[in-house]
Structures are given as structure tokens and as C-alpha cells.
Chains A and B, each alone.
Chain A
Amino acid sequence: MNIVVCVNHVPDTETKVKVGPDGKSIDKAGVNWMLGPYDEFAVEEALRLKERAGGQVTAISLGGDTHKETLRKALAMGVDKAVLLKDDSVRDSFSVSKALAEAAQSLNPEIILFGKQSIDYHNEQVPGMIAEILGWPSVSVVVKMDIQGTKVVCEREIEGGHEVVETTLPVVISAQKGLNEPRYPSLKGIMGAKTKPIEEKQPAAVQNRVEVLDMHKPDQKPPGKIVGTDATAVPELVRLLHEEAKVI
């Protein structure tokens, strides 16, 4: 089975975000980068599929040279091949989707896996857009997946519960936490990843449809009230919620 997993190189969750000099994007100085946490579930699922069905897993990432770090992490986990679509320009989700769809298609996959969202822009657009571009079915926010032959049965999260979705290969899947427990790369994997080649491609330019006008920090909330230090403060708290905040 040809399996493709798309991964993103994102600031780690401890990052103190500062607005960069262009006023529209994050200041990259001092940022620690990581493989997106949701993407890890996708990589793990790709590896498990390969272990069950045989085949090859290719990881693709779109971005600058630094994205190779994240591709190496995927290789260290056990992915067979890595492709960097080298492009430093600002791309919106559609532009990213076009580039990834083209690169993925050339690998003739039966399944393309993503994390449900990337933790930088949280657009949750790319998996669905790629599926539409390729004319494939898609299932998002998947917490369970079972593939028998070409039949795919997934469980996805919805508000207040779950839905069971049935579809067939080829399919685009976006992974939600709970789908699996991602493995830690072995020492052998890490060492091997340093020497595995990363293929570089130049993705075609695509016109953006969304423009970021500005990025700013949210307004600081004014300091709140400490109402007390034990249960005797409760009546006052309830009074404030009722009369001041008017939420109950």
C-alpha cells in the first residue's frame, strides 16, 4: 500500500508568541519547532497501516529548509521516504493544498493522512481541500480507523458523541487525539534518519485567496478579584456571578 502522510513544522506549545517585524506573522527568533502534535497521530497511523498491509510510507512537508527537521523526526519514527516541497512564501490553505495534492498524487497513494489541524493556524482546511481537489472521499477528526481490503470504517468525533463513517479507498483522513499512541523514535531510527535522503521539489506558485492583514496580541484582561481563601467566600462568589457578571 502506498501511504502518504503530510506533516507540519510548527512552534512548540511553550512558545511565547511575539509578532514579527512585518506585523503579520510570528517572530521566528528564539522559537523552538516541533512536528505538529496532531500530525504525530497521522504518522503513527501510517506506520501501523504499513505494518499491517505492507507497502511504503512517504512523509511530505511544505516550507523552508528548516522543515527538514520535522521530516527527519518522521523518518526517525519509521517513515520510509521524505519529500520537502521547498517554498518559503506565504501560502493560504488552498495554495498549500494544491501543492501537497500534486506532490501526493505523483506517489500514487491509496491513503493520505493528516493531523486534524496544525497548531499554528488551526485552519483545518487542507485535508478536506486536498480530498476535493483529488475527487476522493474524506473523513475528518478520526479517533478509530479500520481498513479491510478497500473498505474503510472510521469513528469520528462530533459534538456530544461519535459518528461511524463508512467509505472506500482511496481516502483522505485527518487524525484526532485518541486514534493511537505515537511511538517514540528508537535510537536506531534517529541515527538512520540522519542519513536517509530527503527529496526536494519546487511546488508551483498558486494564487492565494486569503490575505492576513495584521497579527496582534490579544488585549490583556484586567486583573480579577480574589473573593476569599476558603468556603466562606462562596456566598459572595455566587452573589458576584449573579449580580455583577449576571451569568447565573
Chain B
Amino acid sequence: MKILAFAEQRDGAFKQSAFEVTKAASDAAGPLNADVVGLLIGSGIGAIASQLGGFGASRVVVVDDPQLTHYSTTAYAKIVAEVARKEQATILFLPASQMGRDLAPRVAVKLEAGVAADCTALRVDKGEIITSRPVYAGKALTDVRVTSPTSIFKLRPNVFTAGSTNGTSAVVEKVTVTLTADDFGARVTKTALATGRPDVTEAAIIVSGGRGMKGAEHFHLVEELADAFGAAVGASRAVVDAGWRPHDEQVGQTGKTVSPMLYVACGISGAVQHLAGMSTAKYIVAINKDKDAPIFQIADYGIVGDVFEVLPVLTGEVKKLLGKN
């Protein structure tokens, strides 16, 4: 039995999800008596492939083609399906990243595979994978199994820990997939990445601000704390709708769903729709003047105080601890 682990890369470097997905596949492979084969697609990316061995891949298939410098839904989907068929892989693990979520449905139709989306937990039970995933904005969880002969699992980023590499190098096999202009029905022509802070969906720590910050001009307090941690900056819907912060910082039901190690909520009351986006954070800190704010019901640690007073002091203490002065 083979599990094909899709290893996402961007600009020639693995995304953290590549290691998470490979390690999760390796953990499931044990009880299933299966092998993990990594799949890496791109241009000029052969050199990094063997690293997946350190997370449990015995082999890595590399499809390296200058036409694949930029992502293309249809070309990548064709490659994933073709490699899965060639390898006779009946299980595919993909990250539930933008790329993974874009690819999985098309690959699923090609392989006639059922898809378990946005998995936050996996277990092997009597020779099959059962997965747990949040529904209704995280207000409930469902246990799901895939009943088709081939199955696809999309794993939520930042939830399955990759751990550190065990130092093994995987065997790398370069595979050619014939691609014509027709395979590039939609192609990326330009990528614009914001520099500096990590993306909220990938960050280990997020410092997030809400209406309690009382204005765009005060958000520098949130940013300074974020920079002290090396964290991403998040925002509640209220401050995004008010134009204080850009939409890509929004965390919540109509924003991003995040799963960091630490979420620091500053001046955020904790509306149900906001919690939907961050309740699976490992640790939550809340700073809010209102002791009855619902955020305190899910916070691990809280300070019932004024953000304007607390944040600068917290930034100072964090810098001291992390040796950045």
C-alpha cells in the first residue's frame, strides 16, 4: 500500500506543510503497513527533494519542468493524478493550504476518490484511516471515513507536528509528465508576496487586535508586540470592516482559520465568529478591559486590563526574554 504525500514548495523552498504532511503520512503508514512516497512539483527543485526522507518518505518523485515555475491548477492536478496512478497510491495526503485546497477536488474527480477536507486529527482503525474535522465554524467535529477505493486527505496546516528531521535522505526519482498548452488552462502570471511578517495561517505565534485598539493609529502597539515575538499580525472582522487593517489579516468565520502555538488577542471581545477562526490555537492569551468578554472563556491566560497600558510593557518583557533589545 502506498501513501502519496504532496510536498508543497514555493520559490524552491519547502513549505512547513510539506514536512507536516509527510510526517503525518509516515505515522499512518506504520499501522497500515504502507510506504510513503513524497511528490514534489516545480522547476529547478530537485535539490531539496531528499529532505523529505527525514520525515518518513522512503522515496520522493520529482516532476521538474520549466513550465511548472508557476502554479497552474490543471497542470499540477494532472501531474498528481498521473503520479498517483503510476505509483498505484490509494491514499493521498495534501495540505489544506490554498494550493492543496485548489488541487484536491480536481485530483479527486480524476482518481474517483473521496476527499476528507480540513482534517485536524487522524487515526488508523481496523486498517483504515478515520479522520476528525471541524464543521459549522468549529462548533462541532465530525468523524469521517472515505469509502471509495482511493482516498484523499487534506490536512489543516499547523496542526500536525512535523517534529525535526531524523536525518534520513529519501531516494529521489525524477519523473517526466508530458504537458501541453492545453494543460495550462489557468496559469499564474504573477505572484506578489507581502514581505516581512509571516502569514497568519502559517505563523507559530499571532498577535491580533480588535475594536479595543480604538483606531488604526494604535495598531502599532499590536505590530510592535508581533515583531518582538517574530509573529504574524491578525485582526478581528470589526477592524477590517472599519478599514483599520487589511482583509488578509482577518481571523474568523469570514476571514482566515488559524491554528498557531500562541494566539494573543488584544482588545478582542471574542464573538462567536472570531472564535471560529482561532479556537484551535494551542495557547490563547487575552488582554481586554472587560472581565465579562467571552474571549476569557477560551483563553488559557488573561489580563483584565487596558491594552494601551499592557501591550508596551508586554513587548518590553518579551524582547528581554528573547534577547532582542
Contact = CB atoms under 8 A, between A and B. Distances in A.
Interface string B64-93: 000000110110010000000000000000
Interface stretch (B50-58, B166-174, B215-223, B281-289): B281-289
A104 interface: no
Given A11-B136, A92-B114, A210 B317 contact: no
A159 B302 contact: no
Contacts of B186: 137-139, 165-167, 171
B188 A237 contact: no
Contacts of B97: 159
Contacts of A19: 140
Contacts of A156: 98
A97 B108 CA distance: 12
A209 B114 contact: yes
A161 B191 contact: yes
B190 A163 contact: yes
The size bracket of the interface on B is: 35 or more
The dominant DSSP class at the B interface is mixed
A209 B147 contact: yes
Interface in B28-67: none
Contacts of B146: 209-211
Contacts of B212: none
A148 interface: no
A133 to B, nearest CB: 6
B142 A160 contact: no
Interface of A: 11, 13-17, 19, 24, 26, 37-38, 92-94, 97, 119-129, 131-133, 136-141, 143, 156-168, 171, 177-178, 208-218, 221, 223-231, 233-235, 237-238, 240-242, 245, 247-248
Given A163-B70, A217-B139, A234-B310, 16 more contacts: A15-B139, A19-B140, A94-B114, A119-B137, A124-B105, A124-B118, A125-B105, A129-B105, A136-B185, A166-B187, A177-B254, A210-B114, A216-B143, A224-B298, A234-B317, A247-B283
